C-alpha cells in the first residue's frame, strides 16, 4: 500500500498559524432539532443511533477522518488518515436538567466555543445537547477553519440532511486508513515536489510566446484588482471603539432570527442585495450599541472609521462538496455615523457596488495565491506578529452571510428547526456576526468576547431593533430620527 497525504492550501495553513491561546480559529454552529426517532423513553436522545447515522456518511467526506501531520524541518502541515479514529471522540452529549432553556443552551455554546480543538485528532466535534424544552435537542458543532469554510460547510451539512424524513440508512464502508508516511518520507516527497514544480515552471516558459497576449490581459486584470483590494484599507489601521480591544480565550454567544421575506422587502424597496440589507443592519446595530450601551457620543462617530471584513466565496460550481477554503475577503466601511437608516443602506449599496466593479474579491484571492509559496515558519511568524500588533488592525469585526435551502431539512427524521452559525473572533474584535438563511428565516449567530461583550444579549437586541428601523423606514411608515 502506497503512503498517502494531502497538502494544506496557503490560506488553510494561515488559519493554523494565526491561532493563539486567545484566538480560536474554529467556525461553529448551533443547530436545533425536534427529537424524531432519536427520542428515548426516558426523555433523552439515542446518542448511539445518532453516532451511527453520522458515521455512515463520513466516507463521503474523508477529511473528517484525517488529522494533521508535519513535514520535518520546514514544519509544513499535511493531512493524513487518523489510524485511531473514534467517532466517540467527536460526537459527545450533554444533558440539561429538563426542561432546558435557550439561555442555558447559549451558556453551553459559549463555553464550548471557548475551547480549542485537539490538533492530534481530526479537527471537528459535535456536542449533542439534550433536554431542551418541547422535546428538542441541539448540536453545538465546531470545525477548524483550516479544513472548512462556510459554503463548503453547508454542502457537507447537506450530506447529513435530507428534504424528507427517513428512518432507513445503510452502514458506510469500513474505514481502512491509508498508510501514513514517516517524517523522512514526507521531507523527501515534499522536496521532490518543489523541485519538479520548478522544472515544470521553466518548461512552461517555452509556451509563453503563443499565450503572451492572453496572459497580459489576465495579469493586467489581476493587478488592477490587487491594487483596488489593497487600497480598500488592508494596509491602513481602522478606528478604535469600545467593542475593540485585547480578547480573552472565553466567549459568549447569542442569536436572533429575521424573516427572509422582510429582508427581501428591504432589498426590493431600496435596491441592492439581501447582503447589502444585512450589512446595513449591522451598521445600524453597531451604532445603536455604541451610543446606547457604551455611551459614545453619536456626533463623534463621523471621526471613527469602522470596517467589517466580509468573506466572499470564490468556490466554483465544480468545487462543491470539497473541503478547504475557497474564500476571499472584502473590506466594507460601515457607515455607523449616519443616523438615517435609508441613507445608511444607500451608502452600503454604493460601497459594495464599487467593490464588485473593481473586482476586489479577485484581488484578495490573487494576493493569497501570490503568497502561497511562503514557508510555513514565515507564515506562522507573520501571523503571530500580526495577531500581537494590537495597534494595527485593518477591520473591526467580521460579518458573513451563508445562503441555505428554503425548505425543511431532516437529520434522519428529526426536523432541523434553526441553525445559528458562529464566526471566529480576530484579535481586538469583541464581536462577530454570522448568518444562515433557512426555510424562510435568516438566523443570526453572534459570537462575542467574554470581557468586551458582557452584555452580548443587548447587542443582539440592537441588531433586531436596527433591522426593524430599516424595514419601517423602507416602508415609509416612520419619520427617520437620530438615535
Question: Is the model's pLDDT at 479 over the cut of 60?
Answer: no
Kindly write down the DSSP assignment for every residue of 207-231, as one continuous string.
GHHHHHHHHHHHHHHHHHHHHHHII
Tell whether pTM > 0.75.
yes
Residue 369's pLDDT is 43
Residue 163's pLDDT is 94
Instruction: Name every residue whose Cβ is closer than 8 Å to that of residue 337 and which is 6 or more positions away in sequence.
Output: 287, 298, 301, 302, 304
pLDDT band at 10 (very low <50, low <70, confident <90, very high): confident
Residues 161-167, mean pLDDT to the nearest whole number = 93
Question: Would you state the torsion angle of the CA atoms of residues 129, 131, 133, 138, taken in this order, to the nearest 10 degrees?
Answer: 20
Residue 331's pLDDT is 87
In the numeric block, the cell 443602506 is attached to 345
Q: Does domain 6-183 have CATH number 3.30.470.10?
A: no
φ, ψ for residue 388 (rounded to 5)?
-90, -10
CA distances from 319 to 7, 152, 402 (A): 17, 9, 16
Pairwise pLDDT comparison (38 vs 388), residue with the higher score: 38
Other Cβ atoms less than 10 A from the Cβ of 411: the count is 23
CA distances from 159 to 49, 155, 358, 410, 434 (A): 17, 7, 36, 11, 22
Residues 266-275, mean pLDDT to the nearest whole number = 95
Kindly write down the DSSP assignment for every residue of 146-184, as one continuous string.
TT--HHHHHHHHHHHEESS-----PPPPPP-PPPPP-HH
**C-beta separation of 336 from 283 below 8 A:** yes
φ, ψ for residue 80 (rounded to 5)?
-135, 155
| Lowest-confidence pick of 68-72, 212-216, 279-283, 284-288 | 212-216
Residue 356's pLDDT is 80
Q: Give the gyration radius of the chain's Cα atoms.
A: 23
List pLDDT tens digits, range 335-385: 999 999 999 999 999 999 888 876 544 444 444 443 333 443 333 444 444
List pLDDT tens digits, range 15-24: 898 899 999 9
Question: To which H or E segment does residue 399 belong?
Answer: strand 397-402
Other Cβ atoms less than 10 A from the Cβ of 325: the count is 25
The grid coordinates of residue 192 equal 521532490
| Lowest-confidence pick of 9-23, 100-114, 381-395 | 381-395
Residues 289-312, mean pLDDT to the nearest whole number = 92
Q: Beta 124-132 vs 91-100: how paired, if at all?
A: parallel
**C-beta separation of 99 from 133 below 8 A:** yes
**C-beta separation of 480 from 473 below 8 A:** yes
**C-beta separation of 80 from 66 below 8 A:** yes
In the chain, what is the straight-line distance between the N-terminal and C-terminal CA atoms, in Å? 67
Instruction: Name every residue whose Cβ is closer than 8 Å to that of residue 282 and which is 6 or more positions away in sequence.
Output: 308, 334, 397, 399, 433, 463, 466
Residue 180's pLDDT is 80
Other Cβ atoms less than 10 A from the Cβ of 308: the count is 23
Confirm whether 6-183 and 221-398+448-475 share one CATH topology: yes
Domain boundaries, the chain: 6-183, 221-398+448-475
**C-beta separation of 420 from 442 below 8 A:** no
Pairwise pLDDT comparison (458 vs 171), residue with the higher score: 458
Kindly write down the DSSP assignment for every residue of 231-299, as one continuous string.
IIIITS-----TTBS---S-EEEEEEEEEHHHHHHHHHHH-S-HHHHHHHHHHHHHHHIIIIIT---GG
Residue 225's pLDDT is 46
Question: To which H or E segment does residue 55 belong?
Answer: helix 47-55
Tell me the average pLDDT of the chain.
Answer: 82
Pairwise pLDDT comparison (190 vs 468), residue with the higher score: 468
Residue 282's pLDDT is 98
% of the chain exceeding 70 in pLDDT: 74
Q: For 221-398+448-475, CATH number?
A: 3.30.559
Residue 112's pLDDT is 98
CA distance 186 to 74: 11
CA distance 55 to 147: 18
Residue 136's pLDDT is 96
Other Cβ atoms less than 10 A from the Cβ of 182: the count is 11
Residue 358's pLDDT is 67
Amino acid at each position: 500500500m502506497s503512503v498517502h497525504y494531502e497538502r494544506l492550501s496557503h490560506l488553510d495553513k494561515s488559519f493554523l498559524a494565526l491561532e493563539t491561546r486567545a484566538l480560536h480559529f474554529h467556525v461553529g454552529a448551533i443547530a436545533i432539532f425536534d427529537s424524531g426517532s432519536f427520542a428515548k423513553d426516558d426523555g433523552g436522545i439515542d446518542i448511539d443511533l445518532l453516532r451511527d447515522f453520522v458515521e455512515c456518511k463520513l466516507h463521503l467526506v474523508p477529511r473528517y477522518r484525517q488529522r494533521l501531520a508535519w513535514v520535518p524541518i520546514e514544519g509544513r502541515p499535511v493531512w493524513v488518515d487518523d489510524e485511531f479514529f473514534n467517532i466517540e471522540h467527536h460526537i459527545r452529549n450533554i444533558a440539561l436538567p429538563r426542561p432546558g432553556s435557550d439561555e442555558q443552551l447559549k451558556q453551553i455554546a459559549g463555553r464550548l466555543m471557548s475551547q480549542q480543538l485537539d490538533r492530534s485528532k481530526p479537527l471537528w466535534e459535535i456536542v449533542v445537547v439534550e433536554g431542551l424544552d418541547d422535546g428538542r435537542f441541539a448540536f453545538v458543532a465546531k470545525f477548524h477553519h483550516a479544513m472548512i469554510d462556510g459554503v463548503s460547510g453547508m454542502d457537507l451539512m447537506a450530506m447529513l440532511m435530507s428534504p424528507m424524513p427517513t428512518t432507513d440508512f445503510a452502514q458506510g464502508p469500513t474505514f481502512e486508513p491509508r498508510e501514513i508516511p514517516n517524517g523522512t518520507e514526507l521531507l523527501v516527497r515534499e522536496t521532490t515536489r518543489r523541485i519538479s514544480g520548478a522544472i515544470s515552471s521553466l518548461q512552461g516558459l517555452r509556451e509563453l510566446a503563443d499565450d503572451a497576449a492572453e496572459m497580459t490581459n489576465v495579469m493586467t486584470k489581476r493587478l488592477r484588482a490587487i491594487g483596488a483590494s489593497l487600497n480598500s484599507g488592508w494596509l491602513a489601521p481602522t478606528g478604535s471603539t469600545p467593542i475593540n480591544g485585547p480578547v480573552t480565550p472565553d466567549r459568549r454567544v447569542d442569536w436572533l432570527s429575521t424573516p427572509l421575506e422582510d429582508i427581501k422587502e428591504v432589498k426590493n424597496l431600496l435596491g441592492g442585495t439581501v447582503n447589502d440589507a444585512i450589512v446595513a443592519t449591522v451598521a445600524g446595530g453597531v451604532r445603536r450599541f455604541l451610543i446606547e450601551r457604551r455611551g459614545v457620543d453619536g456626533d463623534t462617530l463621523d471621526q471613527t472609521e469602522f470596517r467589517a471584513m466580509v468573506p466572499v466565496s470564490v468556490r466554483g460550481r465544480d468545487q462543491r462538496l470539497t473541503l478547504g477554503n475557497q474564500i476571499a475577503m472584502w473590506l466594507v466601511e460601515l457607515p455607523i455615523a449616519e443616523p438615517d437608516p435609508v441613507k445608511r443602506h444607500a451608502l452600503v449599496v454604493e460601497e459594495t457596488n464599487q467593490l464588485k466593479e473593481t473586482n476586489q474579491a479577485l484581488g484578495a484571492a490573487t494576493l493569497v495565491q501570490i503568497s502561497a509559496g511562503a514557508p510555513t515558519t514565515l507564515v506562522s511568524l507573520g501571523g503571530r506578529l500580526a495577531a500581537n500588533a494590537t495597534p494595527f488592525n485593518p477591520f473591526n469585526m467580521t460579518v458573513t452571510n451563508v445562503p441555505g435551502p428554503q425548505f425543511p431539512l431532516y437529520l434522519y427524521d428529526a426536523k432541523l428547526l434553526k441553525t445559528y452559525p458562529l464566526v471566529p473572533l480576530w484579535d481586538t474584535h469583541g464581536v462577530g456576526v454570522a448568518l444562515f438563511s433557512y426555510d424562510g428565516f435568516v438566523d443570526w449567530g453572534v459570537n462575542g468576547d467574554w470581557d468586551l461583550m458582557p452584555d452580548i444579549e443587548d447587542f443582539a437586541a440592537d441588531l433586531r431593533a436596527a433591522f426593524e428601523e430599516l424595514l419601517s423606514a423602507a416602508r415609509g411608515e416612520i419619520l427617520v430620527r437620530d438615535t
